[in-house]
Amino acid sequence: MMKPVNGFSKLSKKEKIDWLAETYLKEQPEDVRILRQYWNEDSRLQQLHDEFTENTLSNFYFPFGLAPNFLINDELLAIPMTIEESSVIAAASKAAKFWHSRGGFKAEVLDIKKIGQVHFIYSGDFKKLQSFFEEVKPKLLNAVKPITKNMEKRGGGILDVTLKNKNQALENYYQLHCSFDTRDSMGANFINSCLEKFAEVFEAEAHTYQPFSEKEKQLEIIMSILSNYVPQCLVRAEVSCPVENLAEGHEMSGTDFAEKFIQAVKIAEIEPYRAVTHNKGIMNGVDAVVLATGNDFRAVEAGVHAFAARNGKYSSLSHAEVKDGIFKFWIDLPLALGTVGGLTSLHPLVKLALDILQQPSAEELMKIVAVAGLAQNFAAVRSLVTTGIQQGHMKMHLMNILNQQNATEAEKLALTNYFTKHTVTHSSVIEQLEKLRK
């Protein structure tokens, strides 16, 4: 059996690669060349990327693209997107153009509250715990002053700290439930630093609190951490237009299209199997902008899906209706985003993405991301209820198949032309390519 490696992180990059080549890639020496091929020739830029994480061996490229023509609250924006899925940017751009001539997207931030919790166990009288909490709360808030000072200058800070009794669900379990306004930063470090300070002071004070019995004084902190569930950091994006204006790009009347579209959304509202895919389409847009702007897409994903299941059943994030002849399609999304701190000033492409978006505040970015999600969802559902999804998908996929087959530029041109009139399937592309090559 192979032995575990010790001190791997302390090896130089070259040594790490040598170890990898020796241990796992003996049969594929060309793989090591690929690692080097993806290094940036600008050594300072490479070092910057190396230092984002530990044990970096190389870079992993994703396309960085642009979806133009997004009219959002009457401002025309081009949205940078980082995504590998071939049809996403095309779909977003198409939806942007469609809604541009119908008044564009409207978006508003409904709330900006973020949550963090100190989880602790306490075995004793809850009333005593409540009195202790009331007494110690000013001390907690005072203890974090050095951390909150700058955030308060920017208009943010701690909004509230409450004591929560979770003893019914888990024996002896209680929380300090804290809410924060972190302004333009995602705020993870700020929130976690505040929570850890609360925890330290709270536990120390409990150990010497006279009214507590010896057992009660043993109050013990389990952990202190922000929550990625942010249902009160919420943004709404919507589009609307008279039903008859929906008759474009397909053969249905506006009314028929609206009916079928709304039916598709209703299915996603009540059927989890469909809801997950429906929401995946939304996340195609959301994640692409979240990534391009250097935000934490894992946090966003976790929070959004929890929100989609908030009523006890996983459901659609978007909704649609017709009222008085007006079609309306909207989405509410919980999004904890930042436009300062983190990667935003470090990663050159993130900086560029934020420049393209005209240096948005976190609230503006929330609106943009929600709009990208809604646009993506509109494009996907529109395809699904009209032509079907494969037509557009396979057209975009054609280039991937051609690249896999190392097609030349001339071959690509010939086959792209051919497939404007024929259905793309993997085997039909290979067949046509072989014919061409003969």
We find the least distance from the C-beta atom of residue 287 to ligand MEV, in angstroms, to be 11
Q: Is 346 in the site for ligand MEV (CB under 6 A)?
A: no
User: Residue 209 or 314: which CB sits closer to ligand MEV?
Assistant: 314
Q: In what order do the strands lie in the sheet with 220-226?
A: 157-165, 173-181, 114-121, 220-226
Spacing of C-alpha 33 from chain mean position: 33
Mask of contacts with ligand MEV, 284-323, x by CB under 6 A?
A: x---------------------------------------
User: Residue 112 or 331: which CB sits closer to ligand MEV?
Assistant: 331
**Residue among 177, 280, 328, 395 flagged as catalytic:** 280
Mask of contacts with ligand MEV, 366-395, x by CB under 6 A?
A: --------------xx--x----x------
Which pair of tokens denotes residue 417? Answer: 């032309």
Near ligand MEV by CB under 6 A, which window of 175-183, 280-288, 328-336, 342-350? 280-288
Adjacent-strand bridge partners of 80:
66
Mask of contacts with ligand MEV, 72-91, x by CB under 6 A?
A: -------------x------
Near ligand MEV by CB under 6 A, which window of 171-179, 204-212, 217-225, 276-284? 276-284
Residues 6+ away with beta carbon under 8 Å from 235: 107, 108, 109, 110, 332, 333, 335, 363, 366, 367, 369, 370
**Residue among 114, 278, 393, 397 flagged as catalytic:** 393
**Residue among 296, 363, 364, 367 flagged as catalytic:** 296
Strands (DSSP E) contained in 62-197 are 64-72, 75-82, 106-109, 114-121, 157-165, 173-181
CB 407 within 8 A of CB 433: yes
Adjacent-strand bridge partners of 175:
119, 164
Radius of gyration in angstroms for the set of CA atoms belonging to the chain, rounded to a whole number: 26
The one among 281, 294, 303, 334 contacting ligand MEV by CB under 6 A = 281
User: Residue 280 or 328: which CB sits closer to ligand MEV?
Assistant: 280
Near ligand MEV by CB under 6 A, which window of 49-57, 58-66, 140-148, 277-285? 277-285
User: Residue 284 or 293: which CB sits closer to ligand MEV?
Assistant: 284
Which pair of tokens denotes residue 396? Answer: 């975009």
d(CA 210, CA 325): 68
User: Residue 118 or 398: which CB sits closer to ligand MEV?
Assistant: 398
d(CA 376, CA 370): 10
* Rounded-to-5 percentages of helix, strand, coil across the chain: 50, 20, 30
Please report which helix (H) or strand (E) contains residue 329, including its range.
strand 326-334
We find the least distance from the C-beta atom of residue 336 to ligand MEV, in angstroms, to be 24
Helix and strand numbers (H, E) in the chain are 15, 10
**Residue among 13, 49, 85, 203 flagged as catalytic:** 85
The one among 47, 55, 172, 277 contacting ligand MEV by CB under 6 A = 277
Task: Report the SS3 class of residue 301.
Answer: helix
We find the least distance from the C-beta atom of residue 24 to ligand MEV, in angstroms, to be 32
Scan for tokens 């530990």, then name that residue: 54
Residues 6+ away with beta carbon under 8 Å from 66: 78, 79, 80, 81, 89, 356
Task: Report the SS3 class of residue 37.
Answer: helix
Q: Is 278 in the site for ligand MEV (CB under 6 A)?
A: yes
We find the least distance from the C-beta atom of residue 282 to ligand MEV, in angstroms, to be 8
Q: Which of residues 3-62 bind ligand MEV (CB under 6 A)?
A: none
296 a catalytic residue: yes
DSSP-derived letter for residue 185 is B
Closest Cα to residue 136, out of 86, 205, 39? Answer: 205
User: Residue 343 or 389: which CB sits closer to ligand MEV?
Assistant: 389
Which pair of tokens denotes residue 183? Answer: 């302004």
User: Residue 271 or 411: which CB sits closer to ligand MEV?
Assistant: 271
280 a catalytic residue: yes
User: Residue 236 or 280: which CB sits closer to ligand MEV?
Assistant: 280
CB 290 within 8 A of CB 300: yes
Near ligand MEV by CB under 6 A, which window of 14-22, 273-281, 349-357, 417-425? 273-281
We find the least distance from the C-beta atom of residue 394 to ligand MEV, in angstroms, to be 12
305 a catalytic residue: no
Report the interface residues with ligand MEV, using CB under 6 A.
85, 277-278, 280-281, 284, 380-381, 384, 389
Active site residues: 85, 280, 296, 393
